[in-house]
Chains A and B, each alone.
Chain A
Amino acid sequence: MSSDALVQAGEPAPGDLGLGSDLPRSGGARLSVWVLRRIALSLLTLLGVSIIVFLATQTLPGDPAREILGHVTPAQVAAFNKLHGLDKPLLTQYVDWLKNTVTGSFGSSIATHEAVTHLIGRRGLNTLALVLLSALISIPLSLLIGTISAVRRDRPVDHGIQTVLLTLTAMPEFVIALLLLVLFATTVFTWLPAVAVIGPGETAFQNPEMLVLPVAALVLAVVPYVARLQRATMIDVLESEYVHMARLKGLREGTIIRRHAMRNSLVAAIQGSSLTLIYLTGGVVTIEFLFAYPGLGSALTSAVQTRDLPVIQAIVLVFAAAYVLINLCADLLTVYVTPKLRTQFR
């Protein structure tokens, strides 16, 4: 166990990333059983998520009928409650709501009357563009930085990288974005647009220059997490017996790193990718708000301002479902690419 174990405490460390206690550990179970169990657990988590989202809406103070109708007679309140199923027991209300949610009928926005599914489709694409582009850049970049840092461990390069990474992890992404904005869009250089102006019929893909600053900020914010994870993994690998063996055989260091060490950090790369995607889903909220970027995050912010319940519920569910799905995929992939975990089931 290297000293990095504790340095990484609470930070992404291999084995502490979503897979946690869920990775197969008993030798007796079959792989397919584990996969099914893992999927069932994901569904259970989603069910839990839906309960929290539903209960959250129940904490809304005040009587919805009076809030919406204003001053009305008790009979009118009763009629309203009956019409919207508010007179039924809480459990029945939840089941009805869950049925609608699963079939994708979220209703329409209270503020704009747009169908919620339509809004999510439109805004979701923009957010997806932001997230995927940031992930595509940050994942290889962080693996590279992590590897360099591990290979040059405790040398000046490593110390420099560590300091920069520590600085970046601490900074909220919108602060990074703001500093970039001031530097590149307003005062020092005026190369890039300061806000994302994307027309109603357009998507982010048609306006690539609008994506530069938001993506740059997200990349800078997320790179440290995976880079530190990769560094810790590489250090473990570089200290392993088969790497010592390869060195004793007289292989060149470059070959060892490329052919032996890098390949074994594949699991870290998978978990790192899932971590990146998960981090980005939360990170887009402030970034989209800062750049007035028309995505799910800014839609959520304005929905919270206007208490637009259907929109809030739907977007929160989309984000949570994305988390569960990303984690599930990463765990399945991890088991698939790790011979040790796969064969443990025989």
Chain B
Amino acid sequence: MSTQAIELPAARAGRGRRSAAARALRQRRTQVGLVITLLVLAVALFGPLFAQYEPSAIVSIPAQGPSAQFPLGTDALGRDVLSRVLWGGRGLVWMAFLATALGVLVGAALGMLAGYSRSWLDDALMRTMDVILAFPQIILVLLFVSMLGTKLWLVSVLIAISWVPQVARVARGVTTEIVEREYIQAAEAIKTPARRILRKEVLPNIITPLAVEFGLRLTWSIALVAAISFLGFGIQPPNADWGLMISENREIITIQPLPLVVPAVCIALLAIGTNFVTDGFARAVARTSGGEG
């Protein structure tokens, strides 16, 4: 019923993972998700190479419609929308990726530690997690950004911190379940060092659920980073950013919606793409490990 119920025989974990990925790729939804993700990623990472104008250069009259010169028109300040779209995804992708990687890494480590310790440390760690969980993520970010200023690395680190409790819960669940198995107790009886047990026995079992976690958190990190930029606390003007473009052009929404709609669609597609891929993988994993369900 819960995420703690992930059961993978230790020895088969590696093979199961590979066949799960293969299985996932055979699903239509995963394929669609992968294509969307790669397309948007290509725009975000290589877009700047194809931009015709400087993203922050004022090149024409504000709020123009599409023309041969400006394929997506101009924004509220008279900058080329297409160039800004091509430049505006890079920061988002890096920040979301960094936040997710850091959050999953730290969350997994703390979760494994809590689950393995079976002592006061477990309680202390999980209670601290409860405290962090009490802040809606966006509010946790805003609280610290208001004090320390809008720094991009800070936003990423804060989003990562906000993921730690949820990832830790999953990691702890799997760890507690494995630790109770007899072969672990046998390993402990012959004084196998804890680090070795965690690495050799727990880690292989935890990789697959963590991969699913990574995908889910990546999708929502994209949403969060975009939201922070949209509120004006991420990438700062005059730099181009998809989230920022939406709030910058709010005033011309009735005259020229393209400068808002195009970045919005880019953010949406990136998040939807990663979510489809994650879902396909999670389904495939469930089938591989739990028999036909």
| CB–CB A304/B1 < 8 A | no
Tell me the complex Cα distance, A75–B131, Å.
Answer: 40
For B5, what are the chain A residues with a Cβ–Cβ distance below 8 Å? 1, 5
Tell me the complex Cα distance, A61–B282, Å.
Answer: 44
Please choose the segment from A8-16, A144-152, A202-210 that sits at the chain B interface, where 4 or more of its residues have CB less than 8 A away. Answer: A8-16
CB-CB under 8 A for A163 and B170, given A9-B282, A178-B246: no
Give the residue of B148, B231, B272, B286 whose beta carbon is less than 8 angstroms from that of A6: B286
For A320, what are the chain B residues with a Cβ–Cβ distance below 8 Å? 134-135, 139
Give the residue of A3, A20, A282, A303 whose beta carbon is less than 8 angstroms from that of B146: A303
Tell me the complex Cα distance, A282–B134, Å.
Answer: 11
Tell me the complex Cα distance, A178–B137, Å.
Answer: 21
Tell me the complex Cα distance, A231–B132, Å.
Answer: 29
Tell me the complex Cα distance, A26–B274, Å.
Answer: 41
Tell me the complex Cα distance, A281–B246, Å.
Answer: 22
Give the residue of A7, A59, A312 whose beta carbon is less than 8 angstroms from that of B283: A7
Chain A, range 119-162, C-beta contacts under 8 Å to B: none
| CB–CB A169/B275 < 8 A | yes
CB-CB under 8 A for A49 and B1, given A3-B283, A167-B272: no
Give the residue of A6, A175, A278 whose beta carbon is less than 8 angstroms from that of B264: A175
Kindly supply a per-residue 1/0 record for chain B positions 142-170, scoring 1 wherever the CB is within 8 Å of any chain A CB and 0 otherwise: 11111111000000000000000011011
| CB–CB B230/A286 < 8 A | yes
How far, in Å, is A229 (CB) from chain B's closest CB? 11
Tell me the complex Cα distance, A286–B3, Å.
Answer: 30
Q: Does B128 contact A (CB under 8 A)?
A: yes
Q: Does A25 contact B (CB under 8 A)?
A: no
Interface residues of B (CB under 8 A from A): 1-7, 29, 126-128, 130-139, 142-149, 166-167, 169-170, 209, 212-213, 216-217, 219, 222-224, 226-227, 230-233, 246-247, 250, 253-254, 257, 260-261, 264, 267-268, 271-272, 274-276, 279, 282-283, 285-287, 289-290, 292-293
Interface residues of A (CB under 8 A from B): 1-11, 13-16, 20-21, 41, 44-46, 48-49, 52-53, 56-57, 59-61, 163, 166-167, 169-172, 174-175, 178-179, 181-182, 186-187, 194, 232, 236, 278, 281-282, 285-286, 289-290, 300-301, 303-305, 307, 312, 315-316, 319-320, 323-324
